[in-house]
Amino acid sequence: MKGTIWRKSHGAFIMGDGESKVEYKEWFGMSDCIFCKIAQKEIPSTVVYEDEQVVAFRDLQPQAPEHVLVIPKKHVESVLGLQQEDKDLAAHILVDVLPEIAKQLGVDASGFRLVVNTGKDGQQTVKHLHFHLLGGRSMQWPPG
């Protein structure tokens, strides 16, 4: 939008033309991040789990019969972007969310693979922390 003004107010960014408020973006949102847009329901996805801090949805190009991406709603660029104040969030994902989704998908007994591609050599293509949960088939090792 031409002449957009962003200012911070009460924990939210207000985007407007200086006179009228046009749109609110949550303080944790990044306007050009595809996974932030999925978290904020600005673009569609097949959600399999959601709570206040986390959303999980099916990968558009599944690499296994079950392939889900688990993301924090807060924008964190990669696992290296996690800060001290994110410890509860990281523990919540590992201790609560991932086991819950594995159960829901029916892969908790058979097993599954968690992948967190990070940076250039890790082939991370979306710069918003995400855990791939892959299951429903036997995995190979080493990875490509």
Residues comprising the chain, all counted: 144
Q: Enumerate residues 6+ apart whose C-beta is below 8 A from 92.
A: 53, 54
| Position among 79, 108, 117, 136 found at the interface with ligand AMP (CB under 6 A) | 117
Where does this chain touch ligand AMP (CB under 6 A) — which range of 6-14, 53-61, 75-83, 91-99? 53-61
DSSP string, 49-77: EE-SSEEEEE-SS-SSSEEEEEEESS---
Alpha-helical (H) ranges within the chain are: 34-39, 87-91, 98-105
For residues 18 and 129, give the distance between their C-alpha atoms in angstroms, rounded to a whole number. Answer: 33
Q: Give me the least distance between CB of 44 and ligand AMP, in Å please.
A: 8
78 belongs to the binding site for ligand AMP (CB under 6 A):
no
101 in the Ramachandran plot: left (φ > 0), alpha (ψ -120 to 50) or beta?
Answer: alpha
34 belongs to the binding site for ligand AMP (CB under 6 A):
yes
The catalytic residue among 67, 75, 128, 130 is 130
Where does this chain touch ligand AMP (CB under 6 A) — which range of 7-15, 70-78, 103-111, 119-127? 119-127
| Position among 60, 80, 84, 121 found at the interface with ligand AMP (CB under 6 A) | 60
Q: Give me the least distance between CB of 55 and ligand AMP, in Å please.
A: 11
Angle at 138 between CA 133 and CA 144, to 5 degrees: 70
Q: Is position 92 annotated as part of the catalytic site? A: no
45 belongs to the binding site for ligand AMP (CB under 6 A):
yes
> Under the rule (CB under 6 A), what is the footprint of ligand AMP?
34, 45, 57, 59-61, 69, 117, 123-126
